[in-house]
Amino acid sequence: MPLLSNEPKRIELPDLRLVGACGFANFFEAEIGQQIGGVWDRFFSHFAQIEKLKKESSGLFGLELYPPGFPKQEPRWYYMACAEVETLDAPQPSAFVSRFIPASAYACFTHRGTLDGLPKAFRTLYDEWLPASGVKLRGTHDLERYDDRFKGPADPESEVDILLPLA
């Protein structure tokens, strides 16, 4: 089981100011890992150029932004590999985009295992847990949080938090 628990922890995150590399991905294609891996490669190739990195950040983030109609009419979404910054006014690498995410409460699930298992964890949450829970989500995004528990994409002991914004 890729999720450590079937029930989330409720956490609060402050306003997030995120900058990073972005790609448009199709969740239902077999090479989704390669698509997202390519976004992270672009992110890390410019990471040292990020201005005003937040010193007290809780890690790096994978931000999924879902367009209207996702997933039934539109199976693609935006994936952003990103870091938290102090301000969105600072100049950033030209290949990067920025995004402001307002403070919110989140349902926090933890995935343990290789990143190959992360899509299955998301499917379990959206296809099984969410409909059965009665929980309503806020907005059209979710987050992956990579902190010191993340040991690498192929490490079976790696942990990644999946954060679903609560209404």
Which residue ranges form the domains of the chain, and what is each CATH number?
A: 9-165 (3.20.80.10)
Confidence of residue 34 (pLDDT cuts 50, 70, 90): confident
Task: Please say if the pLDDT value at position 24 is more than 90.
Answer: no
Give residues with Cβ within 8 angstroms of 89, minimum separation 6: none
Stretch 71-97: mean pLDDT? 90
pLDDT at 19: 98
Is the model more confident about 31 or about 13?
A: 13
Q: Which residues of 48-76 are buried (b: 16+ CB within 10 A; e: fewer)?
A: eebebeeeebbebbbbbbbeeeeeeeeeb
Distance of CA 38 to the CA centre of its chain: 15
Question: For residues 125 and 162, is the Cβ–Cβ distance under 8 A?
Answer: yes
pLDDT tens digits for range 103-149: 999 999 999 999 988 888 988 998 899 999 999 988 789 999 999 99
* CA distance linking residue 159 with residue 140, whole number of Å: 24
Stretch 88-103: mean pLDDT? 95
pLDDT tens digits for range 39-50: 999 999 999 999
Question: For residues 95 and 20, is the Cβ–Cβ distance under 8 A?
Answer: no
Confidence of residue 27 (pLDDT cuts 50, 70, 90): low
Looking at the DSSP assignment, which residues form a beta bridge with residue 76?
A: 26
Is the model more confident about 75 or about 86?
A: 86
pTM (two decimals): 0.92
Q: Residue 154: CA atoms inside 13 Å, Cβ hemisphere, count? A: 0
